[in-house]
Amino acid sequence: ILIAPSLLSADFSRLAEEIHDVERAGCDLLHVDVMDGHFVPNLTIGPCVVSAVRKVTRLPLDVHLMIDNPVKYIAEFRKAGADWITIHVEAEKDVRKTLDEIRRLGAKAGISVRPKTPIQEIFPYLDALDLVLVMSVEPGFGGQSFMPDMMEKAKTLRPRFSGLISVDGGIDPKNAAQVIGAGADVLVAGSAVFGKKDRAQVIAEFREVTKKIS
């Protein structure tokens, strides 16, 4: 099980320190939320910030594009240092073309669905995917409450998909067992990690949960 702190909840005034802190704490990768104010009602970062993050860590960067027409920006985010690029099935007219472009540029391809979107919407693209991101909150803002009914999507997907299943939204050590039990491989955690002073302790708590399950 991979632990992916979400930079959306980090202190951007000391971002390098925040990254080094969770890196030392033992996380596996970093989740980077990109929002355009159109697909979701919030604005966050662009390729320049991803490039800055890339300079201060060797951890894989999982860049989650919550933006309209993501194919226009794939090359920029890949050049900035994204290792994984995840798009939303709802945001792109030609989903397969976009996934093929992500892979052509050397990144791993992911797709995500909003809570109201049936998981079956992505089934035609499973052969082109390395990762599926199940949103357990409505995308756009951090700190929301976990939606446990979204785990049915992971359960439905797991027998059909051999790649990574990631879950993002309200994840903490208390509900981690439920999320892993549904089939998740990657736990994206924002405020549960960056909202605590001792990040190593939080990540250790996540690890303890995974040991009990395995």
Q: Which phi and psi angles does 213 have, rounded to 5°?
A: -75, -40
Could you give the angle at which helices 15-25 and 47-56 cross, rounded to 10 degrees? 50
d(CA 47, CA 74): 10
Residues carrying an active site annotation: 33, 168
Rounded Cα–Cα distance for residues 169 and 160 (Å): 23
Report the alpha-carbon distance of residue 199 to residue 182 in Å, rounded. Answer: 25
How far apart CA 47 and CA 62 sit, in angstroms, is: 13
The whole-angstrom distance between residue 69's C-alpha and the CA centroid of its chain comes to 19
Helix (H) or strand (E) holding 3: strand 2-5
Tell me the Cα Rg of the chain: 16
Which residues are 110's β-sheet partners?
86, 131
Q: Is 210 helix (H, G, I), strand (E, B) or coil?
A: helix
Q: Which two tokens stand for residue 149?
A: 């009914």
- What three-state secondary structure class fits 48? helix
